Each structure stands twice: as C-alpha cells, then as structure tokens.
Structure 1
Amino acid sequence: MKFTLNWLREYIDTDLEPARIADHLTMLGLEVDACVPCYPELNGVVVARIEAVFPHPNADKLVLCDVNAGQGLTRVVCGAPNARAGLVTPLALPGAVLPGGFTIKPAKIRGEESCGMLCSAKELGIAEDQTGIMELAADLQPGVALSQALGLVDTMIEVDLTPNRPDCASVLGIAREVGGVIGKRIKPPVDTPPALSDENLPFSVEVEAVADCPRYAARLVRKVKIGPSPWWLRQRLLAVGMRPINNIVDITNFVMLEYGQPLHAFDFNKLAGGKIVVRRARVGESFVTLDGNEHQLEPEMLMICDAKRPVALAGIMGGANSEVDAETTDILLESACFSAIGIRRTAGKLKMSTEASYRFERGVDPQGVPRAMERAVQLIAALSGGEIVEGGVDCRDGVIAPAPIILRGKRTRALLGMDLTLDRIGAALAGIEIDVEKLDDDTLRVTPPSFRVDLEREVDLIEEVARIVGYNLLPTTLPMVPMNFSEQDPLRELRKKVVQTLTALGFYEAINYSFVAPQHCDLLGLAADDARRQSVHLLNPLAEDQSVLRTTLLPGLLENLRRNVNHQSHDVRLFEIGKVFHPLESGQPQEPFRLAAVVSGRRNPGAPVLHAGETPVDILDVKGVVTQILESLRLGGTITCEAGVASQELPFAEPGSVLAVRGGEQILGWCGAFSQKTLKGFGVKQQAFFVDLDLAAFGGFSPQAKTFAPLPKFPFVKWDMALIVPEGAAAGEMLAAIHGCGDKLIERAEIFDVFQGKNIEAGKKSVAISITYRAVDRTLDDETVGKIHQKIIEMMISRFNGQLREA
C-alpha cells in the first residue's frame, strides 16, 4: 500500500515527520518498506518564462528561446511546437538528472548554444503528455523550484500489509492507525452517506448469488464529460505509481486508494436492458476483459452481467463491452462487497491480479460500500459536470453484523504484564474506532467494526491494546531456567544404550518405512489367527505395497538383506528400532517400540582365512548379541535367553534353532535362524539369523545396581573338570549350578570345550568347564581348593546324571 504524507494529512491532523510516522507504523505491526521523497528527479528543474522566440538559423524545426529563470535571460534551443513568447514552462538547468538517468549539460545544437532544456510532462516523469513542452500557470514566479510550484514536495511511504489487515489497504485506514497512536480521530470526506431509494430508477440490480456478494450498491450519473483529470488528482495517482487515464477512471482509482473500496464505472448506454445481474458463470461461458484477453469461465466464478451477457469479472476487472470511453455520457457506478474466498479462487485460476482483487481477496468493509459510492459520485459531479440521478440501489441481504466480544481487564493485564486500567484499555480500542461498552469494573463488551475482519476472539483485542499502548512498553523479563537436570524419557535412554551397544558390535542401523505390503504376513507364514496379521489399513496409500502399517520389523530388514546380497555385500549386520502398529477397538492403534536385527555372512569378515576368516555366523552369534544387550542394560541376571519355543509361534524360523528371551514368565522376544522357505520367499540366497525383541517391555525390569569391588590383592587358582552328561543337558544350567552353590571362593566358571564322538557313548557329550577360585584375604593352597572342587564335581554328577571323564 502506497500513500503520501500530504495525502495522509488531509484526514488526520498531524505534524509528525515522515520518519516518525514510519516508526509508528512499524511498531503497530505495519512494516514500512519505503519512505522516500517524491519526484527526486525534479531537483534542478525550475519554473521559467519564455520571453522571446527566434528561428534557428541552421534548423527549420528548432527555435531559439530566451527564457527567464529568475536570474536573467538564458538561451535554450527547443523543438517543441508550442514554444511561444509568454509561455510559463519547466526548465531543466545544467546538472539536473531527469528520469532515465539523462543528465542536462550545456551544449551546441546545430551551432547554437543551449544552456538547459525546456521539458514536457513525460520527460519529467509526472504525466504521459509529450506533444509539447509542459504549460504551467501564467502567475507562477520564474526561478521557483518546479516541485514547490506544483505542490510536489512530498514523501511517499510504502507499507507491506499482512493478509489479515485489509483495512490498511487505504489511506483512511493508515490514518486511523496513526490517529490511534497520537490520540486523534480521522476526518473522512464522507462520514454518513444518504439513504438510497430505488423507486423510479432507470436501472435495476438483481443479486442471484447473495453468498458471493453480500452487498451491491449502484448509482447513475448522467451527462458526464470524459476528459483529463485536474492536476491535483493526477498528482495523487502519479505519486503512488498509478497512471492517470481520464477523469472517471481516475476518480474510481482515487477513491479505491482513499477508502480501500474498489469501484467500477460502466458506460450505462452499453448495458442491455439497463439492468445489472450478479450471478455465477454459466457452463462454457467466456469473457473478454479490459486488457483484451479472453477467459474461459468456470461455474463457481462470479460475474456482473446486464440483461443479456457478462460485463465484468466481479472484483477483478471490467469487460471491454461496457468500458468507459471518450463517447461515454452516462455512468453507472458500482460499489460492492464480494466474498474474499471466491475472488481469491477466481483470480488464481485465471492468473489475474489487480488492485481491486488485491483488496477483495483480503476482505473489504461492507459498511464502506455506500461511503465510497457517495464520495465517488460527488467527485464525478464536480470534475466531469455530471448530474447525479436521485436515489440508487443498495442490496445488502448478505451483510452480517459482527458479534460482540467480552474483554476482561484481568486477562488483559495477565497476558501483557502491564498494569492497565479498564479505562485505559477501552480508550486504546476506541482510538481506532472500536466500539466499547463497560459492563462492570473489570469487563468490556467490545463490538468489532466491520472493517476489522481479523478481530474474532478476546486475545485479538488484547493484541490491539498492546499495539496501541506500544509494544516497546511491554515489560521485559528473563526466562526462568531451573537449575536441575530435566527428567529424561526412560525409553529414549534405553534406545540410546541399545544403539550404542549394537554399533559397537559392528551393526549398521536401518530406517524403513512404516508403510508395508500386506503380503509380508504370507511370506512370514503367519497363521490366520496370528495377532501380527491384524494390521491398520491406510485409507489413501501411496502404493499397493505400502497400504498397511507394519506389525513386525523383520520383513523390512529381510528386504534390506536381499538388496545388500544382490549388490555383492554378503556380510551383513543390520538392526532397526521402531514402532509397530496393532489396531485397537478405541480407534488409535497401539504403537510399541521393538528391536529387530539380522545377521548373515561371515563371523569375522576382516580376519585372515587361516584364522577363521571364512567361518559363517550361527545361532550362537545372535545369542551373543542378545546377551551383550542385556549386559549393557544390566539386565543379565533378570532376563535370560533359553531354548523352548513352539514352532507355531515363529513359523518363519528354522525349527530347533530358536531361543526365547524371557523375563520371568514373560516372553520378551526371540533370536534364531530364518527357515529356508522364508528366506526364499524374500529372495535371500544365503543363511540368515534374526533377533526380535519387545524393547518397550524391557522398561518394566529394574536393572541391577552398580557395585564396586577393590582390585584383588591375591592370585587366583584355575582348576578344570570334564563331565560326561546326557546330550540334552543345557550348558547354561550347568554354569548356573556352579555359580549357585554359594561358595565365596568361586570367582568365575566357563565352558571351554564340548565334545561328542570317539570314546563318548551315543546320546551323551563331554563338557569341559574351567573354574576360577580366589580369596580376598589370602593366597589359596591346593588343599583348600581341592575340597571345594571335589564338592562341585559331586554336585554336578548328581544333578546332571553325569560322570567324571578320565584323562
């Protein structure tokens, strides 16, 4: 929105400097983009009177002019056809820089000296006329600066408006904001328009689309004379970058900038039937706008029509078939309020943006429609000699009165942190023409004006109070930062520890989409009643293979494994921590976190071949992964990894090659080998092992307390034993039995060999166990260790139905 300081001062009594006004507007939330003097190119251009004109001796179309510029006579060569003695005209003195960067210098033109240039209005950038040099009033004093003589000493201010402030897309709206700060009311040209009667009018208006056109007013002015606008009007438009056209069009543009209400003038004699119909476009209808472009219309586009055809694209641009031209004598003036959404949609589809659509898209004041109409018809009558036809049409069935809002003083003070009285709050709102009524000592009933479409809630009014009182007066406080460590999410901390452990073991983290293919359940061989088949289906999936939310992480990792193997990367260690989704009757699915991992290829891919570099991974590797995770979480004594999983629970696993991760009686997950059928279904061509854990359930177990023990001062003693036990005896149970015997000298027990074959009876195996003994207060002797060791052997033979293996 552009305006000038002198224009603003016509409506608000203020002597503030431009920089001060710009500062006020910025603090009011209206960003000022520019604040510059008008017509800076006119520096060095003065008023001059041609005293005498002589023919140029060397050119038929040039003349020599002796001009008086206030300091004696100056000879200037001129080629304008209207150069004559006695003419008062602008003179650009040497050194002046005209629009376009043209610098005036003394020069010889066809052998004659010329000290300056007599200028046309177009050369000075203040009008389009270039038929001759500009003719000024004869009573102007020679030597006076042209900008001062023509009243062009002014400042142009440009404000960048936010979409919620259409009221400031007018000079009156800007003046109202300034008045709210300095405590003065604006003086509009038309305050209370006369009531319009539609009796005995030579025209009629019919609004079919009331929702798209809440208000439509029209008046008729006869016997107008089309011609150029007076200088003051042209100067106003030129100062804000608008091109003057003729007196009628210039008036509609001027009032639009003044009131923020777009207007449109129709040539009344071109309207069929003297009728205006506001309706939506018909199917297949087209329309030629004033710019000569033809547009194909759509049924939701609002049109202004006469009795036969469309004559304007409502709120955007008029039509070529009803435009005002030099032969126009009767004007039908339109002032309307159109739906902001409809105008925005039409302008977007037709790729048209005009000054009118800019304002209608944001919302115009329905109560400003008759005021702008009255202002325009008065100017038309004054500047074109027109006769205003008594009465007019004002269709206002769609206008809705703004609803009152209750504003609490206590709430205002609490949000702003300022000790404002209720009277001060009310005065701030009243200063920008917001109606305020006091209900009690702490409550106001506020009725937003129709031009403030952005005031809907109590907090909107509180923001207005802050703007008018001044944002810079709001108290400044430092944020309160508590000096304590914020509570961490336990599940997030658990996930971080697991990630650190797995990356340390050589795993890479995978992140897959939560949207998967429903065929994954079939590839895993899940039973029809398996809970993992109950998935959440997407209403609008991106693709068929992304139509459900995953219930397990393993299919995504198997696809990652296949992609790696297909690209010749056979040694793969991947894991993923993410949510799975199980539908609930309440609507929102359950979203627990799970951990899944796949391991395939060689156990030590970087080691030399002679040192087990080609040894493939097996189930012990994934068991070790689970064990390491439990140890890092200090859950090794609470959660165990053991055999005994029914095949129907994991149909995708190799029977007999699965271990359950248990916490008491609860199964927290599994680790094991994929079946060849499952691997073939996913296109994986090598053996692979998996880990699948309910990570969220781990949070229900308390980790073991951290303990400290001093470094041992005495040496340890290590004794071995070899027992022949039944083949089904679990090695983990054997170690647990040794640790559980309760002797304080036992420091550690570990299995270092398991053997079956020669000299070992079928159905049995040899298990070699190494036991480390240490005392904290002395060095152990063989006799003491031997007694304890013998008791352990006897306990193991008895408990596991074994026998000592002879060397």
Structure 2
Amino acid sequence: MNISYNWLREYVPVDITPEELADQLTMLGLEVDGLTSIGSDFEGIVVGEVLSVEAHPDADRLVVCEVNIGEEQSLQIVCGAPNVASGQLVPVATVGTTLTFPEDEDGKQASIKIKKAKIRGVASAGMICAEDELGLSEDHSGIMVLAGEASVGEPFATYLDRQGQLYSDTVFDIALTPNRPDAICHTGVARDIAALNKLDFRLPGIKTPAVDNDASAVSVFIDDTDGCKRYSAIIVRDVSIKDSPAWLANRLAAIGLRPRNNVVDITNYVMHELGQPLHAFDLDKLNGSTVGVRATAKSEEFVTLDGKERKLPAGTSMIVDGEHMVAIAGIMGGENSEVGDNTKNILIESAYFDPPTVRKVAKLLGMQTDASYRFERGVDPERQFIAAARAADLIAELGGGKIDDVAADVIVSIPAPVSIDVRPERVNLIAGTQIPTAEMVDILVRLGFEVTESDKVLRCDVPSYRHDVTREIDVVEEIARVFGYDNIEEPETTSLRHYLPRTQPEAELRGRVESILTGSGFSEIYTNSLISPDSAAAANGPELFGKKYQGERVMTANAISSEMSALRPSLLPGALGAVSHNINHGQEETRFFEFGHVFRKGDVPSNVIDGYIELESLCIAMCGSRSASWNSSEHSTDVFDVKGITETIVRLVCDDVEVDPNYTPGHLTSYSIRLMHEAQVVATIGCVGGGLGQQIDLEQPVYFAEINWGLLVNLYRAKPEHRYAPVNRFPVVSRDIAVIVAESTEVANVVKTVRNYGGKLLQSVNVFDIYSGKGIDAGKKSVALNIRFGADRTLTDKEVDKAVGKIVNSLSRDHDAILRQ
C-alpha cells in the first residue's frame, strides 16, 4: 500500500524527515518496505521545438527529428513515439542527462545516461521524453507535448513551476497486515502518527446534506440484506467533466494511480483519504430513479468498466436500477452506467458490503480491485455517508455542480459498539512496563477510543473503524505499540515457572516414526498439494482410508494452471512422481516417505468446512532393488518390505491390528492389504496399479503404504502413558505347533483365531514357517506358529496344555486345520 508523505501532512503536522517517519511507522506495526522519491529537479532537460520529422531510412517505426533547443546548432534525435510532429514543443533530455525509468523486469529502477549514439545507422544526440520517463505519470503512449506558452530553450523545471506542476514527494510502501483495515488510508495512518507524536489529528471539514429516504430524488432499496448492510446515495447535478487540477492529479500519481477525470479522480482520492470505496454513476443512465442491491438468482453475464464480459455466479450481490444491473457490489462498476465526457448528473454510491461475500465473488470472478481489497478486510460501518458527502463537496467544488439538498442513507444493520474492560495492572504485567494509568488513557483517547475510568478498571469503547480490537489483550497491544516497544526496559532477571517441558504426543510419535524410517534408509520428500484433475481422479480410490472418508475430488476455483487445479486426495501421486524422477535419473532403489494433508468431498464429524474432508496422511513408497553387499545378496523390493515397516509403525500405537488382504485389482492397486483397528482402516499397503499405475512410466512395480496419520495420532493420545515395569521373574512357556490348512486360508486369520482363543495366559503368537510341497497334500500348506504363555506365577504343564488344546480345537473348527505331527 502506497502512502504519500505530503498527503499525510494535511492531517497531522509532522515535521520529521520521511526516513525518520518510516522508522516510526514500522515500530507502530505499519511496516515500511521501502521509500520512493517522487519528482526531480529535471537537470539537463530543456524545452525544445520539433522543426521537422523525416522517416528513418532503415526502420519503419522510427523517425528522425530536427529539434531546436535554443542553441546555435539544432539537434538530430531519433524518436519512436507515434505522436511526434513538426511544430510541437517537447521536453528534451540533452546529452549527459541521467533519467530514471519505470521499474524494469527485475523490479528495480533503471537509471540511464543519455549519450550520443547511432540508432539503426542514424546519429542521435538526445531524447524526446514521454511523461513516464520524466516521472510525471505512468503514461507511455507517446511523447509529452507542451502547451504553447513554453519557451524554446528554457529549463523544463521552470516550465513545470509556471504550470504549477513541479512536484516532489516521498511515498511509503507499507506492508499492511490484514488486521489493520483502518490503516488502509491516509487518515488512518495519520491518526497513528498523531497518537505517537502527541500531535493534533485533523480530519477535513465535511458538509453533509439532509437525509430523508422518502424525499430523496433517488429511491434506494436493499433486497440482499446479507450482502449489503448500508447504502448511501448523494446526487450532484450539472457537473462539468474535465481534467483534475494539478494538486489532485499529483496526489493520485504519487501513489501510483493514473488521473482520468475530475469525478473519477475524486472518488479515488476520497477512498485513499478515508478508506471508504466509492462509485460514481451517470445518473441519466440509470432507469427508474431507483438504485439498490439485489443478489442474482441464476448465473448471468455482465460487462464491467474494463470492457470485459463477466460470467456472474448465482448469488452475486449486484447494484441494480429499475431495469438492469449496473455494478458488481464492492468490486467494479458496469460499462452501461459509467461516467463519460458528456455526463452531467452524478449519483455517488457509498456502501457497506459484507466482507466474506465480496471476497467470495471476487475470487470466483478472478478479480481484485482497490474497492474489493478494502471491502474484503472490512471498512468502517459508520463512514459511508460522510465519505459520500466528502466526494460530493469536492465534485461540486472542482466540477461546478450542485448537491441535492436531500440524500438517501438506507441502513439494514450496523455492528453494535464494542466495550472492553481493561485492567491497568494487567497491561503493565503483560507489557513489562510501568505506564501510569493517565498515560494509558491518553494513548487510547488519541487512537479514538472513549475511555471511562472506574474502580481500577478502564471501560474502553472501541471506535467503529477498529473492529480488530475485541479483547483486553488487543487493547494492551494498542497501548504497548504507541508507548513504544523500544521504550520497554529489559528486566535484569526473568522469573520462570518450574515445570518439566514435555513433547506433545503428535510430535513425539512423529519423531519416533521419522527415526524408524530414516534408520531404514528412507528419505523424506515434500510434494505439491495441487495436482492435475486426472491424477486426482486416478488416486481417489476406495482402497484408502475406508468408506467413511470416501468422496469426490476437490477442485480449486481459481487454478494456477490446469495441471494444478485439483487438491490431492492422496499423497501417492506426489510420491510416484518423485520415484519416477529418481529411477529415470539412474537411482536404482528409491525409498521415500511424506507427511501431508489430503482432501476429499464428504461429511465427517471432524470437518472444519462443511462438505470437505481434510486428513493428515503418511505415505511410504518403495521401488527397485537393493544391490548385493559383503553380507547380503541382491534383493528386489516386494510388498512384504513395505508391509514390515508399516506394521512396525502402526504397532507403536496399536497392539491389536488385523490384517485384511485383498487380491482383487482395485482403482489404484494391483492388490492391497489393509491394517485394521476396531473396524477402522489405519493403513493401506499395496502395489500401484489401476489408472494411477498407467500414469507412471516404470518397468518395475512400486509398493506403497498410506497411513491415516490423524487417526494414528488420536489413538496415540489415548494410549496409556508408558510406565516402568520390572521384568517378570516367572518363566515364560513357549510352545511350537504346526497345522495343515487349505492353500487359500489366509495366515492372518489363523493368527487372529489363536489370539481370540488363547485366553488370558497368551502373551504372543508369531508365524515362523509356511511350507507346501513334499509331505503336504496338494492344495494344502503347513503353518508353523510359536506361541508364548506367561503369568505372574509359574505355569504348570497342565495349564499350558489346556490352552494349546483350546487353540488347536478352534483352528480345527474355524479353518479345518489338522495338527501336524
């Protein structure tokens, strides 16, 4: 945001240098990113007369000019401006003059020294200048042509001074934070400066017409009460549309706005003065002497001031007259009602539009204007009529118009005033200061608060333009920043509470998981959450996360590009991209993991935004072969590698994990394994296939696991805290059994049966061998299990045999298992 130093001084009599003021603004929380000097002494630039214009012999778009600058010898200057003609008086930069041009491609000012040169073979000694090359405006459409009273050979600065156009200023580039919309204008910044320096703050005197909504010449209505809370309208008649005076044009040019005509310039001036966006309609182009706010019932098309046709979504807040739409509320006016050279009667609009509504429509339309920038952040709900009256006064003064005696000001609702109780002792405790109560009151009053002191409490009525101040701590910040953070003394000692810092459960779990993965040779990656619609559709498989979290892919409203227009429903596309890149660049084995958020449409209790699911996920991806070494042979990655590391992670949290294999090819897998806990899908393991597999150009298979990290963290939080327990002094009894089951029987179900029927004495069960072949009937396989029993006493053989017998009987009943002898 650009703020003019000269303009500020109209409201606060500050007499420090711009550099000192920049430091003050930064310490007040209005960070100044840079200072730009406007204007010049124009040394080396003189008034010249174009004597002749001839075509360039070797360039179609260049001409050769003979220019008289009041010296014995005229100058030959090659020029490319389309409007140069003989007889013109023009500013000429002579040889040796240094010009500072507008920002170049690197975002820096480019200073160029004029030299004698040959341009396409023709000698040129000087330069005929455009307005932007002189820093007078942004106009580069052609050279600057001077009025007839200019004298050939006189310094250009002398001519400008005589015209009242010699202007110098300093502009502050302020990085305004979203919580300070009150400082989005010159009076807002000036108020802070006045409060800090204990100077008088002067607002311009404004005459307001009488308000009578029934007697006003224009009837105002608000049908869209959600999108508009207040609408003010003032009419100015018999206005002359002309160029703005120099002082107004200079004010706007200093902050980067191009002057257009007196009416449009005044609406921009008041917006940057008071922070309230305004719009001027040609009253005679409005039908029915009616204007109001209404939301579109369906998608419609509308041509805005810039000549572009906009497709409006249903529900867009629009300004309408008696017959048609005339402006997009809070964003931009319409071409059908704009002020032109023949305009005589003006209707000034000043409204309070709902910030979320304006932001939503602006994003959907891909538009951001000076008006929408302010409305999105929230304007002062009590400044609409005053701002319209200020603009009406200026239009009447500069355009010779007459203001109607009666105006309209329709109010749906205005936010209720906010009062906050502030404890002076609390202010000093938090800020580490010893500010007297009287000084606190003085600071707040200078910022516009109304303060009443009673019983060691300050009752602070917050001004309407400070809707960011809602709590006592906000008032503490206001006092501290004006008092000066650099004035707060550093204490000699600092009292610290005696407590043992603890790592949050989610951070602790993540640290343990990262240690496991990095220790196993995995590298962490970070990929973009925006992917192509095709990749999002291919990765949006039902295999991941379970039915609870299934839903359509999420598309973005204002995509950077078509390849980045969908939010990822899984971390897998990014991981596959990293795998493919590394394999194609000679990396034989890849092991990656990534923590990140995934998105789908749907409704779950944890939704932050209705209709949209956001989950935190952990993805693991493996591909390729591990080379042989002195102690191991070459090993091709398989699904059991990723299953092993995934189970290790999941079992940090869940002891009772069920394995649910699925050998049928799915939406994104050739086959998959789900790790379940209490009917919830904790992790999905598989080999990439389906539509997603077709998108990667790799010969070797890619194995992956995607873990519902949010679910795992919640389970970890609920897990009892680890406590030290001495090693059991009673021996553990271990028994090995082997059972013969059908080849199709899943070993995971065999293990599950053992756990279900092992009883209280069962401590663990592990598979140590699976065999089929000689000695085993066709269609059968042998599964060998190690089963361990234990208790807080010595177990007898009879107890263990009974437990083993119960397990064998259960296996026989549920799986037709035969105990192998």
| TM-score, length basis structure 2 | 0.61
Q: 1:229 matched to which residue of 2?
A: 244
The unaligned stretches of length 5 or more in structure 1 are: 519-537, 550-562, 583-589, 592-631, 678-682, 702-725, 732-807
CA gap of 1:305–1:17, structure 2 versus 1, over 3 A, is same
Q: 1:424 matched to which residue of 2?
A: 439
Q: Deviations over 1:662-703 (max 9, x none)?
A: xxxx758433559999xxxxx997736478999xxx9xx9xx
CA gap of 1:669–1:476, structure 2 versus 1, over 3 A, is farther
Q: 2:146 matched to which residue of 1?
A: 134
Matching residue within 722, 729, 733 for 1:637: 729
Matching residue within 479, 486, 492 for 1:465: 479
How many angstroms does 1:172 deviate by?
0.9
SS of structure 1 residue aligned to 2:288: helix
CA gap of 1:114–1:414, structure 2 versus 1, over 3 A, is same
1:444 aligns with 2:538: no
Q: Deviations over 1:632-655 (max 9, x none)?
A: 96413168457899x9xx984499
For 1:461, the aligned partner's letter is V
CA gap of 1:461–1:482, structure 2 versus 1, over 3 A, is closer
SS of structure 2 residue aligned to 1:428: helix
1:334 aligns with 2:349: yes
CA gap of 1:496–1:226, structure 2 versus 1, over 3 A, is closer
CA gap of 1:109–1:351, structure 2 versus 1, over 3 A, is closer
Q: Distance in 1 between matches of 2:394 and 2:266?
A: 7
How many angstroms does 1:400 deviate by?
2.3
How many angstroms does 1:81 deviate by?
4.5
For 1:6, the aligned partner's letter is N
Q: 1:579 matched to which residue of 2?
A: 653
Q: Distance in 2 between matches of 1:209 and 1:406?
A: 36
Contact 1:65 1:75 in 2 (8 A): yes
How many angstroms does 1:210 deviate by?
2.5
1:65 aligns with 2:65: no
CA gap of 1:261–1:655, structure 2 versus 1, over 3 A, is closer
Q: Distance in 1 between matches of 2:782 and 2:511?
A: 31
CA gap of 1:151–1:686, structure 2 versus 1, over 3 A, is farther
Q: 1:211 matched to which residue of 2?
A: 226
Q: Distance in 1 between matches of 2:642 and 2:228?
A: 70
Q: 1:33 matched to which residue of 2?
A: 33
CA gap of 1:675–1:6, structure 2 versus 1, over 3 A, is same
Matching residue within 380, 399, 405 for 2:414: 399
Q: Describe how 1:115-126 pairs up with structure 2 within 5 A.
A: 116-117=126-127, 119-126=129-136
For 1:671, the aligned partner's letter is V
SS of structure 2 residue aligned to 1:579: coil
Q: Percent identity?
A: 34
Q: 1:44 matched to which residue of 2?
A: 43
How many angstroms does 1:309 deviate by?
0.8
Q: 1:783 matched to which residue of 2?
A: none
SS of structure 2 residue aligned to 1:424: helix
Q: Describe how 1:94-133 pairs up with structure 2 within 5 A.
A: 94-98=95-99, 99=101, 103-106=113-116, 116-117=126-127, 119-127=129-137, 128=139, 130=142, 133=145
Q: 2:587 matched to which residue of 1?
A: none
Q: Distance in 1 between matches of 2:87 and 2:512?
A: 93
For 1:104, the aligned partner's letter is I
Q: 2:765 matched to which residue of 1?
A: 671
Question: Is 455-464 or 394-403 further displaced after alignment?
Answer: 394-403
Q: Distance in 1 between matches of 2:308 and 2:453?
A: 55
Q: Deviations over 1:55-104 (max 9, x none)?
A: 7999999555243xxxx8884558955847xx7x6442322233366643
Q: Describe how 1:305-316 pairs up with structure 2 within 5 A.
A: 305-316=320-331
Contact 2:304 2:327 in 1 (8 A): yes
How many angstroms does 1:133 deviate by?
2.4
CA gap of 1:411–1:137, structure 2 versus 1, over 3 A, is farther
How many angstroms does 1:349 deviate by?
0.7
Q: Distance in 1 between matches of 2:67 and 2:367?
A: 50
For 2:173, the aligned partner's letter is E
Q: Distance in 2 between matches of 1:570 and 1:394?
A: 69
Contact 1:658 1:671 in 2 (8 A): no
Contact 1:220 1:331 in 2 (8 A): yes
Q: Deviations over 1:469-510 (max 9, x none)?
A: 112223435766789987899999999999999x99x9x9xx
SS of structure 1 residue aligned to 2:235: strand
For 1:184, the aligned partner's letter is L
How many angstroms does 1:728 deviate by?
6.5
Larger Rg, first or second structure (1 or 2): 1
For 2:94, the aligned partner's letter is L
Matching residue within 259, 264, 272 for 2:279: 264
Q: Distance in 2 between matches of 1:399 and 1:491?
A: 44
SS of structure 2 residue aligned to 1:254: helix
1:301 aligns with 2:375: no
How many angstroms does 1:201 deviate by?
3.2
CA gap of 1:45–1:173, structure 2 versus 1, over 3 A, is farther
Q: 2:662 matched to which residue of 1?
A: none
Q: Distance in 2 between matches of 1:394 and 1:219?
A: 9
Contact 1:53 1:65 in 2 (8 A): yes
CA gap of 1:653–1:264, structure 2 versus 1, over 3 A, is closer
The unaligned stretches of length 5 or more in structure 2 are: 57-62, 103-109, 523-542, 549-602, 608-612, 616-634, 657-676, 679-723, 740-747, 772-778, 802-821
Q: Distance in 2 between matches of 1:456 and 1:124?
A: 47
Matching residue within 286, 289, 292 for 1:277: 292
CA gap of 1:689–1:266, structure 2 versus 1, over 3 A, is farther
Q: Describe how 1:478-497 pairs up with structure 2 within 5 A.
A: none
For 1:325, the aligned partner's letter is G
Q: Deviations over 1:445-484 (max 9, x none)?
A: 1111111110111111111111111122234357667899
Q: Deviations over 1:610-653 (max 9, x none)?
A: xxxxxxxxxxxxxxxxxxxxxx96413168457899x9xx9844
Contact 2:227 2:317 in 1 (8 A): yes
SS of structure 2 residue aligned to 1:447: strand
For 1:412, the aligned partner's letter is V
Contact 1:184 1:431 in 2 (8 A): no
Q: Distance in 1 between matches of 2:367 and 2:243?
A: 28
For 1:314, the aligned partner's letter is A
Q: Describe how 1:586-605 pairs up with structure 2 within 5 A.
A: none
SS of structure 2 residue aligned to 1:273: coil
CA gap of 1:292–1:400, structure 2 versus 1, over 3 A, is same
Contact 2:29 2:481 in 1 (8 A): yes
Q: 1:687 matched to which residue of 2?
A: 783
SS of structure 2 residue aligned to 1:476: coil
Q: Distance in 1 between matches of 2:750 and 2:149?
A: 100
Contact 2:53 2:86 in 1 (8 A): no
Contact 1:120 1:134 in 2 (8 A): no
How many angstroms does 1:249 deviate by?
1.0
For 1:27, the aligned partner's letter is M
How many angstroms does 1:276 deviate by?
0.1
Q: Deviations over 1:716-741 (max 9, x none)?
A: xxxxxxxxxx997999xxxxxxxxxx
CA gap of 1:729–1:414, structure 2 versus 1, over 3 A, is closer
CA gap of 1:672–1:14, structure 2 versus 1, over 3 A, is closer
For 2:136, the aligned partner's letter is I
1:378 aligns with 2:381: no
For 1:459, the aligned partner's letter is I
CA gap of 1:182–1:728, structure 2 versus 1, over 3 A, is closer
Q: Describe how 1:14-33 pairs up with structure 2 within 5 A.
A: 14-33=14-33
| TM-score, length basis structure 1 | 0.62
Contact 1:216 1:396 in 2 (8 A): yes
Q: Distance in 1 between matches of 2:768 and 2:402?
A: 95
Q: 2:591 matched to which residue of 1?
A: none
Q: Distance in 1 between matches of 2:298 and 2:129?
A: 54
Aligned-residue RMSD, C-alpha: 5.3
Q: 2:552 matched to which residue of 1?
A: none
CA gap of 1:77–1:146, structure 2 versus 1, over 3 A, is farther
